[in-house]
Structure formats: C-alpha cells, structure tokens
Amino acid sequence: MRRVLLIDDEPRAAQALECALGSGVEVHALNCAADVARLGPESRPDLILLDIALGGDSGLEICRQLRLDERFRNVPVVLLSGLQG
C-alpha cells in the first residue's frame, strides 16, 4: 500500500484529498508543519502533499526543512494551493 503524508491546515480540503486518493492509499494527515517533527522513523511516505500556505507558514520553507530531514530528503513533494486568483 502506498503511503501519503498530507500536510494541510484546512480540514475540508484534507478530507477531500483523502477521498480523491482512494482506498488503496494510506494517508497520514497533519494540520501543521510542527507535527512533522513528531513523526517516527517508520513514517517515511511515498509522497508528500503540502499546502503552500499553512496558517501563515510558507510551504516553500517547510519543503526546504523537509529536504534537510533524512526521512524525507528523497520523497517527492507536491505543493498545493486553495487560493483562487
């Protein structure tokens, strides 16, 4: 089973993404970047879905921090945005 780490502070958006990914995907959803530090070493996902704006935090900065962590260094990251323009 594929594992996805979803980091999004908007519960409805996170729920919609979980549904869209389907039943063949194990989703570990976090609502803030600080929770990433609490993940254990067994939590290495196959993909990270990251909201670009987490309660004022920059998704780009969080992505940089993820790249410094050995667990996530080589995991693909998809940046998401709910902003409409």
Contact in structure between 8 and 80 (CB atoms under 8 Å)? yes
What's 40's domain CATH number?
3.40.50.2300
Q: What is the model's pLDDT at position 38?
A: 82
Q: From CA 49, how far away is CA 76, in angstroms rounded?
A: 9
Q: Pairing relation of β-strands 53-54 and 2-7?
A: unpaired
Has residue 11 been placed in a domain? no
Q: What is the model's pLDDT at position 48?
A: 94
Domain count, the chain: 1
Q: Which residues of the chain have pLDDT under 50?
A: none
Q: From CA 42, how far away is CA 18, in angstroms rounded?
A: 21
Q: What is the model's pLDDT at position 83?
A: 64
Q: What is the model's pLDDT at position 70?
A: 87
Longest dimension (CA), the chain: 39
Q: Which tokens hold the place of 47? A: 């993909």
Boundaries of domain holding 60: 30-85
Q: What is the model's pLDDT at position 6?
A: 92
Has residue 3 been placed in a domain? no
Q: What is the model's pLDDT at position 59?
A: 81
Tokens 């729920």 sit on residue: 15
Has residue 4 been placed in a domain? no
